[in-house]
Amino acid sequence: MTEEMQNQAAQALVDSREILPTVDHPDEVEPVDLKAAELYINRELSHLQFNVRVLEQTLDERHPLLERLMFLLIFSSNLDEFFEIRVADQLSQLKYGREAVGPDAMYPGKVLEKISEICHANVDRQYRILNEIMFPEMAAQGIRFLRRRDWSDEQKAWIRTYFEEKILPVISPIGLDPAHPFPRLVNKSLNFIVELEGKDAFGRETGMAIIPAPRSLPRLIRLPDELCEEGDNLIFLSSIIHEFADELFPGMTVEGCYQFRITRNADLTFDYEEVDDLARTLRGELHSRKYGDAVRLEVDNRTPQELIDFLMRECNLSDDQVYRVDGPVNLTRLMAVRDLIERKDLRWPPFSPGLPGKIKKEKEKDMFQALKTGDMLLMHPFQSFTPVIDLLRQAAKDPDVVAIKQTLYRTGDKSDIVNALVEAARNGKEVTVVIELRARFDEESNLHLASRLQEAGCLVVYGVVGYKTHAKAVLVVRQEGNKLVRYCHLGTGNYHSGTARLYTDYSYMTADNDIGEDVHKVFQQLTGMGKIQRLKKLYNAPFTLHAKMIELIQHEAKLAKSGKPGHIIVKVNGLTEPKMIRALYEASQAGVKIELIIRGMCRLRPGLKGISENITVRSVIGRFLEHTRVYYFGNNGKHEVFCASADWMERNMLNRVETGFPLTGKLADRVKRELDYYLQDNTQSWELQADGRYTLNLPEEGEEPFSAQQQLLQDFAT
């Protein structure tokens, strides 16, 4: 990153400093109430600031050009979900008078005020980066997004044909009059508001119309190479609709045509006590997601104010919920550029995920035999996800396998894992699948998945109403001689081959009898009914995982108070649970060294004298999305290491079904070494300050740059 880019990044974060309340003179607060509001960062604002760090990646010239564009678009995608869920929740609290505050004591009104401030500033900045940096740099590489003024006569003729053949037959302009009121527009859809002059065939003179862009049409179109100079030449669907808007209103004059997009509340809420069939209820609710209350309006910044005022009234929005943008309002659809151009030189260099030594040789690829020789730990995407799939494929075909049980959260109904489960059921195995239908934005896919598995003969259950099943577990039961042997997979991520190439996650595979028995009991809890069963090695939420983590934190504090070293390392995606934060504060006060690697939301304030001066918090953002959940406790030299499906958040620890599993011996040592990589990272890590700001870690003078993700690629991939 150049000095100028560093300054830009630093200034952006300084500008957003006010989104987080600060601690006034922490040195003077003694003794301190560890429940005091000033010791906690608001979770929504912390979540939002993570997205600001994502946007910063667009300026990092060490990343390939098209990957920098992807970071800019991911910022938009993340912000969409933030408004659909988090902002919508805050607005609902205000609307229905159910204002709730967290440990930071910020009320929804104040939170929304800060959200608006930081979002407006960073959306403006995003479009400046797009227009002033990304588009020019891509044009220099032969990738051009052609404006209407740049179209040649030949190109315009081709575009006209495209409009007449592809767009005109499916587009439906809506004139606004008493018989045609403002339409209910789909969440996040591209639309145009049009100013009209003249009367139509019926003598109507409304002066205004709406053009919804059909969702079936691509938002980005590649022009034929023979019509262009060298390189890749793309045009926006919005440009074509702008160009030929007149032809949608014959005999009338289009005085102005402006794009806009409405973001709506997309959270699914229903009363669990009234639900007698979760799948049927979800099917009914999915349609409503498209038409929830409006929470944000994005408009072309050239749109006249009277039209913006009209849209605000129709959407019941205030001016601070309007975002005037200098470019396409639906930036996430630009991700199609990945499929429209072939420029490997502007993408991440390819790599082949590694395989453990024990299954590299053809004769040793029998997964059951491999697991009999010892446990296996894979770190994706640096190591291949294939062994997990192979375990299920072999189980589906193996005549000695009698049963397979699996949880599914996000996977898709056509994945290799689902194909293996279908084959197993058709081969006469007892296949039980616990599907979490409520995996946000994957509900529809999971409903299709459930139907496919049921049709194949699998027993499909939907977990426990009121508790999302977020655990990642596979249990294979095999008849070996006169006994049944259990083989297990436990993971920190999802059973999705695509995310296994993009997210960092651990997969643990074992034939350990105690763990197999524990996993069996977890499935019993999910599919049947009964009291809590005692587990031998695993810890599970919502029953034992939270209490065990508190116990281990307190044990490190006890060691430190007795003069022995206390050490905790936690790597999760979010840290928000107040009791765990207070336990960490107390451990810090006792002298425990606490190193937290928190990708996103973090309510804890590090570096407060007398409170958290022994705590550091860093966030790593790079090529891969950090997703592993790892808990390390030094235990006076006899370290205890756990991987889990759970973040340190209320929802994970108290309101979901999660699993935490111990690692021992060489596997634990290896995980500790990999945690150290993240603690050494001085190129892609950001340090959280006591006042809530994040600062980019850079190599000190004479220090070599070090990237954890790059080191893991070197360790495992080829």
Alpha-helical regions (H) of 250-298 = 278-289
**Sole residue written with tokens 């040649």:** 152
Q: How many CB atoms are located within 10 Å of the residue 175 CB?
A: 18
Residue with tokens 């740049």: 150
DSSP H helical segments within 427-492, as ranges?
A: 443-456
d(CA 311, CA 653): 42
Q: Which of 470, 489, 496, 555 is catalytic?
A: 470
* Sequence-distant (≥ 6) Cβ neighbours of residue 45 within 8 angstroms: 19, 20, 111, 114, 115, 118, 692
Beta strands in 359-514 (DSSP E): 376-380, 401-408, 430-435, 459-461, 468-469, 473-480, 483-491, 503-510
Residue 627 labelled as part of a binding site: yes
Structure tokens at 711: 């080191």
In the 8-state DSSP scheme, what is residue 533?
P
Q: Quick one: tokens of 187?
A: 């969440």
Please state, in angstroms and rounded to a whole number, the distance separating the CA atoms of residues 348 and 359: 28
Q: In which residue are the tokens 């109507």 written? A: 204
Distance CA 606, CA 585 (A): 9
**Phi, psi (5° rounding) for residue 258?**
-135, 135
Residues in Cβ contact with 534 at an 8 Å cutoff, skipping those fewer than 6 apart: none
> Rounded to whole angstroms, how far apart are CA atoms 596 and 584?
10
For the question of residue 470 being annotated catalytic, the response is yes
Cα dihedral across residues 494, 499, 503, 506: positive or negative: positive
User: What's the rounded Cα separation, in Å, for the pair 395 and 20?
Assistant: 51
* Type of residue found at 285: E
Q: Which residue has the tokens 């259990």?
A: 486
Distance CA(199)–CA(176), nearest Å, equals 13
Tokens of 315: 């959407």
Long-range contacts of 441-449 (CB under 8 A, 24+ apart): 441/81, 441/266, 442/409, 442/410, 443/268, 443/282, 443/286, 444/286, 445/410, 445/412, 445/413, 446/408, 446/410, 447/279, 447/282, 447/283, 448/413, 449/408, 449/411, 449/412, 449/413, 449/418
678 has binding-site annotation: no
Backbone angles phi, psi at 327, to 5 degrees: 155, -170
The torsion angles phi and psi of 626, rounded to 5 degrees, stand at -70, 125
| 155 residue type, one letter | Q
Q: Do the annotations mark residue 78 as ligand-binding?
A: yes
- CA 178 to CA 182: how far, in whole Å? 9
Q: How far apart are the first and last CA of the chain?
A: 27
Phi-psi sector, 616: left (phi>0), alpha (psi -120 to 50), beta: beta
Query: 696 - beta bridge partners?
Result: 686
Tally Cβ neighbours within 10 Å of residue 452: 17
Cβ burial, residue 171 (10 Å; 0-12/13-18/19+):
middle
Residue pair 86/18 in contact (Cβ under 8 Å)? The answer is no
Nearest to 116 by CA among 85, 79, 81: 79
Annotated ligand binding at 534? The verdict is: no
Residue written as token pair 């980005």: 220
| CB neighbour class for 291 (10 Å; exposed up to 12, middle 13-18, buried from 19) | middle
Query: Do 299 and 262 form a contact (C-beta atoms < 8 A)?
Result: no
- How far, rounded to the nearest angstrom, does the alpha carbon of residue 589 sit from its chain's CA centroid? 34
Q: How far apart are CA 239 and CA 455, in angstroms?
A: 46
- Residue 421 near residue 453, CB atoms below 8 Å: yes
Annotated binding site for Mg(2+): 410, 440
Annotated binding site: 78, 410, 440, 503, 599, 627
Annotated binding site for ATP: 78, 503, 599, 627
Annotated active-site positions, please?
470
